[in-house]
Structure 1
Amino acid sequence: MVMGIINSAINLKCCFRDTHNQRLNVLSDSKVMILQEINEPVLNMAVSKAATLLGAYDVHIIDNLVWDQDYLGRVFSFMSDAIFVATSTHMCVQRFADQSSVPVTCMKSRTHASIQSLSTVMSIIEEFGTLKGVNISYLGAPHPVLNSYLLLCPMLGANIRFKCCCKKCPVSPLLFKASEEISSKSYTEMKECLNKDDVLKNACVVIAGPTTNKQDKIDEFRIGIEDIEKQSCCHWIFFHTCPRGKEVDDVLFNHWNARTFNVFENMHFIAAALMAYGIKNYTF
């Protein structure tokens, strides 16, 4: 399922590298609802662009939803063909989806950052041709996207090392145990590190987490080209989760090995693949 969506997105991108002023008839006259408890402008635009590309119409609702009213999933199903949700919770979305008669996709929640993580995986596959055997490093504050990587990496055959806390404030991601179980079955490495050099050891992919306002955290997660090249002896690429702060300088952020903007470009291809599969079981 996961690789099916990613491959579908890659195929669509190969056919329409530039999607400006393009409109297909894949989802002609379908209605896509973008339901946001919290405003996520980038995700909002990615899904909206995907809907337009496939010939669908989109409607945006930003409100403090009462997720405990499970019947809302059923109500909104009368008015849309697919629902994309951004929320600060997660389990309530599951109950909402259970009541819905149309596909519900969680764009981002407290637990997951589905579209961003899938777009990053898509970029890695575009670079290396596969995720199997790729060493991925995540260095930054805890973030829902890290939870998604912890599931996707072992599921697709990649190794992942991460550092998301300091020695003074130990924190483990919400899905650490789930990732551990998948890793043991897929014979991949999933390791939580407290040392930056340990995280970056033999890295093929380096992902910086979002910035933080705390100076001690910035220093803890600061990373530069010299840090990567000291530990990695292979071709490497770099992604920033964004928003970007002082933990990454201009040299690394704009380096020829940086692929951050590829991820943002891939978001609407991933959203389109999810949308087409969910509404019409269609793959590109």
Structure 2
Amino acid sequence: MHFCELGDPGELSPSQILIRTEFSGITNGTERHAMLGEFNWNHFPGRHGYQHVGIIEATGNEVEGFNTGERVFYGAYVGHRAWHIVDTENGPPLLITLPDGMDHPYCALFGVAGVGLRCVRRVRVRPAQKVWVVGQGLIGGFAAQAARAYGAHVTVTDIDENRLSLARSCGTHRVLDACDERVFEQLKEGGPYNIVIDGSGYKDLFFDIQEHALLARRGVIGALAVRGETTFDWSMLHQRELSVEVSCHFAVEDLTILRHFVREHIIHIKPVVSHRVSIDEAPDIYTILRDRPAELLGVIF
């Protein structure tokens, strides 16, 4: 991992926006998978990072809806940069304004929070449904918060007591230790679940859901975490009319909804930040991310 000089932004075209970065977020998730070459589209060297908070420094004369001096979140996967040029010519960019009164540094994790919220929307979480979120890393934790925001009764499981404690502090209804030998009994007591969201990538999850009859009829599995080859019994879906949905990244609409929930103190970002450091410490953070990932949750430069 090393720094490189970007130079000056240069002159803007009429449809472009120049953003000067204030904060940049990374997560123990997408960036680690990319660093380890676990995506098919990986190449080295590469730039990774998709969560940027900054100030609009200049706009072209054709730009509408964004003004110089506004603070924004930008969600393009372009790496951690001192500045960004965003082009609006081909449609709305992955960009939203951040009003005064918000805790702006923590908005640098809007990306991963948006990933969790998008999954909740994709699997159609509704009020009074029972939702089980497997894994309380960042995407699982934000999926649990989003499911609760949409009115569901939320159960979560994880093997890490610190993450379970964090889930409790964020208002999760039922928090279960996946290492407890009674965990499937406890899950069955709270089920069956209308929706199971996988935030862990645990390879036997589909078989466990089938063996313990944890999904309600016409229930949905939200396959959110990164997986390799995945095997399940087709009869599991056929007998109960279940479905599997895959969700990835986020859109402007997801970010707009997330901004509302954060402003109303319904979804909480600050508790999941494990490190807030200068960008100069990025090499150390990436070493931890590679070698000791359990030490990190959200990181803000």
Larger strand share, 1 or 2: 2
Larger helix share, 1 or 2: 1
TM range (shorter): 0.3 to 0.5
Q: Which has the larger radius of gyration?
A: 2
What TM-score does the superposition give when structure 2 sets the normalisation length?
Answer: 0.45
What TM-score does the superposition give when structure 1 sets the normalisation length?
Answer: 0.47
